Amino acid sequence: MMTLAADPLVNEMGAKIAGLWPELLLVVAAFVVMIVGLSPRTALRQSTFGITFVALALAGVLAAFSPEQVTGLAVYTKIGACVIGLLLLLALAELPDELGQNLKDGEGRFDPQQTHRGEFFGFFLLSITGVMLCAGADDLIWLFLALELTSLPTYVMVSISRRSIRAPEAGVKYFFLGALAAATFLYGFALIYGATGTTYLSEIGEAIARDGLTPLATAGFVIAILGISFKIAAVPMHFYAADVYEGAATPVTAFLAFVPKAAGFLTLILILDAAGWPVFAGDGMGGDGVVAVVWILAALTMVIGNVMALLQTNIKRVLAYSSIAHSGYMMVGLLAGPGNSVNGVSAVLFYLIAYGVMNVGAFAVIGLLKRAGEEAETFDDLKGLAARRPVMAAAFAVCLLSLTGIPPLIGFWGKLYLFSASISMGYVGLTVIALMTSAVAAYYYLRMIATCYLIDPDRREQAEISTLPQRSLALTVSAGLVVLLSIGVGPLFSGADGAANGFGKAETSETAKPEQGNGAKGQSSTEKGNWDDERLTSAAGR
């Protein structure tokens, strides 16, 4: 009689749980924070920030010492999510107090309905947990649940982030469009299941390696990509971004610009790897349709994001369309896949972390500017910032120059890896579009820097600069990380390259032996990046 310990299913579940300790810690911490946030005592309610900070730091340490069976993608993502999560937490730290939602002891009868501190930080932790779960997914159902765990808390965070009516209005828009997107990519998942008969990514890969991409499977992947475009704010699911980013409090906007985007790209990497990366070189069995969709979406996302950013006068809307454009850049690397001399998946993972760091610094500055008690959002509010706060203006300039892609900052290296991967796979036309739109982006980034340094405002028009120590610390650390990562690019890219190791597809179903975990199919070092000349020629033709 087989003992419980010898049961393979029990062993598999035990191994899976052993790799989920960081996520379990964050979930427990989220519930603790929600309970503590309802305490009538001010000191206890304010401890929610400290609990959240410690939980994120411990989760990052646990991720760094994950068991061997945890994939490189999961380890890299969990550590990166915790590091950037800590930066975002610093930017968000004072937000509940700014809203006046925390009553002081002895100032009237405590009403738990008037404090949102516990819920806010609890949802923050749950959303970060969703990103980490996406990286470790090996099943379509798991992916769906992880994506929704990432997104659902953000709807509430947006709605309660400001006292202004614009916040709940933005939350409602975000929620309904998010529900539409969820239904779309879930329908795509259903079609993939119908075409392959399984929800496991590794088994989907086996079925496609054996039978090729059938029309039903191709439709499933295309619809899923369109739905997931909402998470990364890519065309055609980008319409919500500017309104929601403008309506939410600035630190929450920074959160939206990274966390759902990271979950979306992780999901795209996993499902496209299950489809088999060589289809991107055109195999005549549906691959060309997937290529066309990703190519068009990447091009439109870069063009629309950058052109629309030029037309904005609200800084948050500028950065919203900038976020859309950066999704387009990463889709260029996604299209290249793990195929040739430069690994496109590595480039995407590298750029995700770099973008997260740059993004926090840019939004932290905007979050420190106030006018008449409300958030300062126009270019006029940046006038004279360098004269008044030279360190703040310098940190802002560093983050914006890196977002522009000015060498030798980290943003330049990120774009270099992305565009090199695209060229190595023959997507020269798409790379030219990416370079041209990056040049367009330089205008609105440099315009913000020039406003800080070259234009002196009338004293009556100057925006107030808030004294929020945690948010100022977030800005300083972000700018510092941009500089440090720019100097030491190697370790971060080595980590991204290790996380992408194993993605790819063997040439034939006879030789393909898909590995379990993350849906990444096994491939020898000789086979990886050396597809047959016919497929490479087909790719170069595009």
Cβ contact 127:144 at 8 Å:
no
Return the closest-CA partner of residue 87 out of 352, 364, 349, 402.
Answer: 364
Q: For 364-370, what is the mean pLDDT? A: 86
Annotate 313-362 with DSSP letters as a single string.
-BHHHHHHHHHHHHHHHHHHHHHHTT-SSS-HHHHHHHHHHHHHHHHHHH
Return the closest-CA partner of residue 523 out of 507, 500, 499.
Answer: 507
Q: Which two tokens stand for residue 248?
A: 């939410």
Buried b (16+ CB within 10 A) or exposed e, 322-333: bbbbbbbbbbbb
Residue 58: Cβ-neighbour burial (10 angstroms; 0-12, 13-18, 19+):
middle
- pLDDT value for 504: 65
Distance CA 112, CA 324 (A): 38
Q: What angle do CA 321, 322, 328 make, to 5 degrees?
A: 95
pLDDT digit string, tens, across residues 135-186: 989 899 999 999 999 999 999 999 988 888 888 899 999 999 999 999 999 9
- pLDDT value for 14: 67
- pLDDT value for 336: 86
pLDDT for 281 beyond 50 = no
Buried b (16+ CB within 10 A) or exposed e, 228-240: bbbbbbbbebbeb
For residue 104, name the pLDDT band (cuts at 50, 70, 90).
low
Q: For 441-450, what is the mean pLDDT? A: 94
| DSSP character at residue 392 | H
For residue 237, name the pLDDT band (cuts at 50, 70, 90).
confident
Cβ contact 171:468 at 8 Å:
no
pLDDT for 516 beyond 50 = no
Q: Is the pLDDT higher at 461 or at 491? A: 491
pLDDT for 296 beyond 60 = yes
Q: What angle do CA 76, 523, 507 make, to 5 degrees?
A: 135
CA dihedral 24, 25, 27, 32 (to 10 degrees): 140
Annotate 8-30 with DSSP letters as a single string.
HHHHHHHHHHHTTHHHHHHHHHH
The pTM of this model reads: 0.87
pLDDT for 282 beyond 50 = no
For residue 275, name the pLDDT band (cuts at 50, 70, 90).
confident
| Among 410-424, 445-459, 498-512, 513-527, the least confident range | 513-527
Sheet with strand 369-371: strands edge to edge: 374-375, 369-371, 464-465
For residue 476, name the pLDDT band (cuts at 50, 70, 90).
very high
485 φ/ψ sector (left φ>0, alpha ψ -120 to 50, else beta):
alpha
For residue 124, name the pLDDT band (cuts at 50, 70, 90).
very high
Compute φ and ψ for 139, nearest 5 degrees. Answer: -150, 145
- pLDDT value for 400: 95
- pLDDT value for 377: 79
Cβ contact 503:273 at 8 Å:
yes
Cβ contact 192:217 at 8 Å:
yes
Distance CA 305, CA 318 (A): 9
Cβ contact 328:234 at 8 Å:
yes
pLDDT for 447 beyond 90 = yes
pLDDT for 529 beyond 80 = no
| Among 38-52, 76-90, 310-324, the least confident range | 38-52
Return the closest-CA partner of residue 275 out of 216, 330, 321.
Answer: 216
Cβ contact 79:60 at 8 Å:
yes
Handedness of CA 275, 70, 139, 241 (dihedral sign): negative
pLDDT for 17 beyond 70 = yes
* H or E element that contains 370: strand 369-371
Q: Which two tokens stand for residue 225?
A: 């990509």
Mean pLDDT of the chain: 83
Express the helix, strand and coil content of the chain in percent, nearest 5 each.
70, 0, 25
- pLDDT value for 287: 56
Helices (DSSP H) in 160-249: which residue ranges?
Answer: 166-196, 201-211, 215-228, 240-247
Q: Is the pLDDT higher at 398 or at 213? A: 398
pLDDT digit string, tens, across residues 313-322: 889 999 999 9
Distance CA 394, CA 399 (A): 9
Q: Which two tokens stand for residue 28?
A: 């427990």
- pLDDT value for 510: 36
- pLDDT value for 458: 66
pLDDT for 542 beyond 50 = no
- pLDDT value for 44: 85
For residue 209, name the pLDDT band (cuts at 50, 70, 90).
confident
Q: Which two tokens stand for residue 257?
A: 């610009």
For residue 101, name the pLDDT band (cuts at 50, 70, 90).
low
Distance CA 292, CA 344 (A): 17
pLDDT digit string, tens, across residues 332-360: 999 888 876 778 899 999 999 999 999 99
